[in-house]
Chain A
Amino acid sequence: MKTSIKLKVAATAMAVAGALGLAQEVSAADEIFVPVLVYRTGAYAPNGVPWADGFVDYLKLVNERDGGVNGIKLAFEECETGYATDRGVECYERLKSKKPVAVNPLSTGITFALTEKVAADKITLMTTGYGRSESADGSVFAWNFPLLGTYWSAADMLVQHVAKKGSLKGKKIALVYHDSPYGKEPIKVLEEHAKKHGFTFIKLPVTHPGVEQKATWLQIRQQRPDYVFLWGWGVMNSTSIKEAIAVSYPRLQMFGVWWSSAEPDVLPAEAAAKGYNGITLGHSNERAAPVHKDMVKHLYSKGKGTAAKKEQVGDVLYNRGMLSALLLVESIRSAQGKYGKRVVTGEEVRWGAENLNIDAGRIKALGIEGMMQPLKTSCRDHEGVRKGRVHTWDGTTWSYTSDWYEADSKFLRPLVEAQAKAYAAEKKITPRDCSKEK
C-alpha cells in the first residue's frame, strides 16, 4: 500500500513537472551542454520570462530543424536565478559539472561575479547587450563577450541621438538608474559626455526592485531635465513610465536603454506610454522574419514552443533571448569550423566566439535579416558590432523612429582600454598580445 502511495506521489510530481513545462533536455556524452540561467519567478520575471523563452526556443529549433549544430545535438537545463547574484553563482556552480561550453546569465551582477570563475573553469561568458563594458577589450577579458553592444555604446548612441535635436550645451540630462552594477555602468560615459558637450548630468538612483520612485520623479519635476535616460529593469521600467505620467513629464523626452524598452515596460502604462523611446540592440519586435516562421513551424505547431502563447514569438525580449542563443550557437559552429564537427570544449567555443564573422549573407541565411547588423569579433574587440536605432512606442507597438547610430569608437575605445588596463593591474592579469592571436 505504501509503495502504491509513493508511486502515485512520484507520478503526480512528474505530471506536475511535465505540465509546468520545465525546460530540460538530458545531456549525453555526444551532446553539447548549454546551461540556461533564467528568472521565471520574482520581481524581474516579466522581463526574464520572454528572454528565457526566446533563448530556449532557439536551442530547441536548432535541434528540431537542423538536428543540432553540424549534427551535434544541444542539451540544456534551466536554473532559476531570480536575478540574484548569489543564486546565479549557485546555478553556475551546480551546472558546471555538466561541462558547459558557454553561459549567458542575463545579469550584470552575476557577470561581475562570474568573470574570474569562467576564466578558471574555461567556460565562455556571453553577455549580449549587457555585462562589463570594458570587457569589450578581449586582450584582458579573454572569456567575456559583450556581443552586439555594451552599455557604454548604448549611452553614447543615446547622447548622439539627443544631440541631433540641438546643442546640448547648458541642457540637463537625468539618468534614472537601477542602483546596481547594471544601472551604474553608463555613468562613466555620460560624465565624460557631460564634460564634452557641456550639459548638466543628474544621477537619480532607484533601489531594487524599483517600485518606490515617487521622490525620484518629484526631483525630476523640480529640476526639469531636458531629457531623461532610463536604465531600469523589470518593474522599475513600467513604474518609471507611470511616475513620469504622474508628474506630467513628457514621454517624448524619455529614452530607455535596450533593457528598458520592451513590451513589459510599456504595456502596464498602455496608451499613456505613447511617445516613449528606447535605443535598440539592433532589433525591435520583428515578428515575420524567416526564423520566426521556423519557430512556429517546427515548435509551436507541434506544441513544443516554450512561450505561453504563439503571439509572444517576436516580442522585443523574446527576440533578444533568441539572438543571444543564436550567437552562442554560431560560436559553437565557428569552433567546429576550426576544431572539427564534434562535441567542442569551452576553450574551443571561446575561440569560436572570438572569431565570429556574421556578415550580411550569413544573417540572411540565419533568417534574421533586419534584426542584426554584420558582426565581426576579434581578440581586440569582443563586442563585434555597436549599432542601434531608436524605436518609439505608439501606444500599441514599437516602430523605428531614427536612422542607425554607431557608437563612437574613437571616444569609447580609450575609456574601454583604460578601464580594462586598470582591471588587469588589479587582478594581476597579463593582457594578451592580440597581434599574435589567430
Chain B
Amino acid sequence: MNIFQKRWMTWVLFGLLAVGAFAPLFSADTRLPQWLEVVLGGLMSGVLYSLVALGLVLIFKASGVFNFAQGAMVLFAALSLVRLMEKMPFAVALAVTVLIMIAVAWLIERLVLRPLVNQEGIVLFMATLGIAYFLDGLGQTIWGSDIYTLDVGMPKEPKILLESVFEGGILVGMEDVIAALISATLVAVLALFFQKTGTGRALRAVADDHQAAQSIGIPLNRIWVIVWTVSGLVALVAGIIWGSKLGVQFSLQLVALKALPVVILGGFTSIPGAIIGGLIIGLGEKISEVYLGPMLGGGIENWFAYVLALVFLLFRPEGLFGERHIDRV
C-alpha cells in the first residue's frame, strides 16, 4: 500500500486547505502582493503557535500526559523573567528564570505526577488542569497582573520587500521573522534531542509504557523531571517571543490555547506535525479572516482553528502525523 492509499484522507484535507488558501487569487478584488502579505503573516503566526504546541507534544510523547498547563507555564515563565529583569540584568534574570522553571518541573513531578504513576491518562490530564489554575494564580499573586513590557531587542518596525516587483512592495514584520527563525532552531534541536540522544530515546520509551520502561531500568521520575524541564524551557522561549510581541500579561496563556488545535491537526506525538499544524492554522485563520471576514461578519481568526480541529477529529482523529491508535476489543 503506498503512502497515498494509506493517507488518502490526509491528502484530501490538504487539498481542500490548499484550494482555500489559493482561492482568493481567483477573485478580481485580490492583489497578489496583498495575498502574499497575508500568507507570510499567517505562516509566521503559525510558527509561533507551533512553538507552544511543541511543549505539549514533548510532554505527551514522553509521558502520555496531555499538559493543559502549557499556557500557564508560558505565562508563568514570561512573568518571572520580565519582573526579574526589573531587578537584574537580562542574562542573570534569564538564568534565574531557568532555575525557577526547573524547580516548577521538579515540584510538579514530586507533588502531582509521582503519586499518580500508572493512573489513567484522563486522571493525569485533570491534574494538569489543576496545575494550570494554580500556576495562573500563583504567577499573578507573586508577579502582579499588569501588562509588562518585555524588550529583548526584537525589531518592531516592519520592512518593505520586493518594492521593485510590486507597487508598494510586501510588508514583512521583522519581529515575526526573527521569532520564526528562533522557533525553527528550537524545533531542530528538539528533534535531534529526541532522535539522537540516549535521554531522548528513554523519554520515548517512557511514553510507550511506564511500567515496561521502569522494568528495564529507566528512572521514570528523573525522566519526568527532565521532560517537564524541557517543556518549561520551551514555554520560556515561547513566553519571551509572545511577551515581546504582546507584552507579558494574562492573555499569553489564552494565546497558548491555540496550541490545542495545532496538535490535534498535527498529531499529539509528532514534532513535525506540531510545526505543520501550526503553519496550517496560522495561514488558514489569516486567509479566512481577510477574505471571508467581510462576508461573514469578521471575527473568524479566533474560531477558525477550533473548527478545523473539529473537522480533523471527525475525519482523522490521530491528526496528520500522529500514530493511529488501535484498541483490541
Query: B21-60: which have CB < 8 Å to A?
Result: 31, 34, 37-38, 41-42, 45
- A242 contacts B158, C-beta separation under 8 Å: no
Given A207-B299, A264-B146, A215-B289 contact (CB < 8 Å): yes
Task: Tell whether B185 is near chain A: CB-to-CB under 8 Å.
Answer: no
Q: Which of A20, A41, A215, A222 has the most CB of B within 10 A?
A: A215
State the CA gap A155–B255 with chains docked (Å): 31
Cross-chain contact A46 with B303 (CB below 8 angstroms): no
Is B210's beta carbon under 8 Å from chain A? no
Kindly identify which residue among B146, B173, B285, B303 contacts A246, using a CB–CB cutoff of 8 Å: B173
CB neighbours of A212 from chain B (8 A):
255, 285, 301-302
Bound form: Cα–Cα A295–B320 in Å: 60
Contact A242–B254 (Cβ < 8 Å): no
Known A207-B302, A214-B45; contact A221-B156, beta-carbon cutoff 8 A: no
Contacting residues, chain A, for B38 (C-beta < 8 A): 215, 218
Nearest CB of chain B from residue A194's CB, rounded to whole Å = 16
Tell me the interface secondary structure of chain B in the complex: helix
Assess the A43–B251 pair: CB atoms within 8 A. Answer: yes
**What 1/0 flags go to B291-303 for Cβ under 8 Å of A?**
0011001111111
Give residues of chain A (181-236) contacting chain B, Cβ–Cβ below 8 Å. 203-216, 218-219, 221-222, 234-235
B290–A238 CB distance below 8 A: no
Tell me whether A245 is interfacial, beta carbon within 8 Å: yes
The listed residue (A42, A205, A267) touching B299 by CB distance below 8 A is A205
Residue of A nearest to B254 (CB): A209
The reply to whether B146 and A205 form a contact with Cβ atoms under 8 Å apart is no
CB of B145 closer than 8 Å to a CB of A? yes
Task: Report whether A267 and B293 are in contact in the complex, using a CB–CB cutoff of 8 Å.
Answer: no
For A210, give the chain B residue with the smallest CB separation.
Answer: B251
CB-based contact A205/B298 at 8 Å: yes
Contacts A215-B286, A221-B171, A222-B34; is A238 near B247 (CB within 8 Å)?
yes
Partner of B147, one of A219, A238, A247, A272: A238
A41 touches B255 (CB 8 A): no
Q: Which of B232-263 contact A (CB under 8 A)?
A: 245-247, 249-252, 254-255
A residues less than 8 Å from B294 (CB atoms): 219
- Greatest chain A CB density within 10 A among B41, B42, B251, B302 is at B251
A262-286 with Cβ < 8 A to chain B:
264, 267-268, 270, 272
Partner of B140, one of A41, A213, A216, A221: A41
Judging by beta carbons under 8 Å apart, are B140 and A43 in contact?
Answer: no
Assess the B146–A242 pair: CB atoms within 8 A.
no
Chain B interface size, under 10 / 10 to 19 / 20 to 34 / 35 or more: 35 or more
Chain A residues within 8 Å of chain B by Cβ, number = 42
Instruction: Check A239 for interface membership: any CB of B closer than 8 A.
Output: yes
A209 partner residues in chain B, CB cutoff 8 A: 251, 254
Q: State whether the Cβ of B15 lies closer than 8 Å to any Cβ in chain A.
A: no
Q: Are A211 and B255 interface neighbours, CB within 8 A?
A: yes
Which residue in A42, A203, A207, A247 is a CB contact (below 8 Å) of B158? A247
A62 within 8 A of B: no
Query: Contacts of B86 on A, CB cut-off 8 Å?
Result: none
> Do A268 and B247 touch (CB < 8 A)?
yes
Determine if B157 is an interface residue (Cβ-Cβ < 8 Å). yes
Known: A49-B146, A215-B290, A238-B147. A43 touches B303 (CB 8 A): no
A162 at the interface (CB under 8 A from B): no
A49 to B247, CA, bound (A): 17
B290 and A218 contact, CB distance less than 8 A: yes
Q: Which residues of A, 229-261, contact B by the 8 Å Cβ criterion?
A: 234-235, 238-239, 242, 245-248
Whole-angstrom CA separation of A247 from B297 in the bound complex: 22
> Which of B137, B290, B303 touches A207 (beta carbons < 8 Å)?
B303
A308 within 8 A of partner (CB): yes
Between A and B, 12 residue pairs with Cβ closer than 8 Å are A41-B137, A43-B251, A208-B302, A211-B254, A212-B285, A212-B302, A222-B31, A239-B246, A245-B158, A246-B176, A247-B171, A248-B157
Closest 5 CB pairs of A and B: A215-B289, A268-B247, A207-B302, A45-B145, A205-B298
**A208-B302, A235-B250, A272-B156 known; 5 other A-B pairs, CB under 8 Å?**
A49-B145, A207-B299, A207-B303, A218-B37, A219-B293
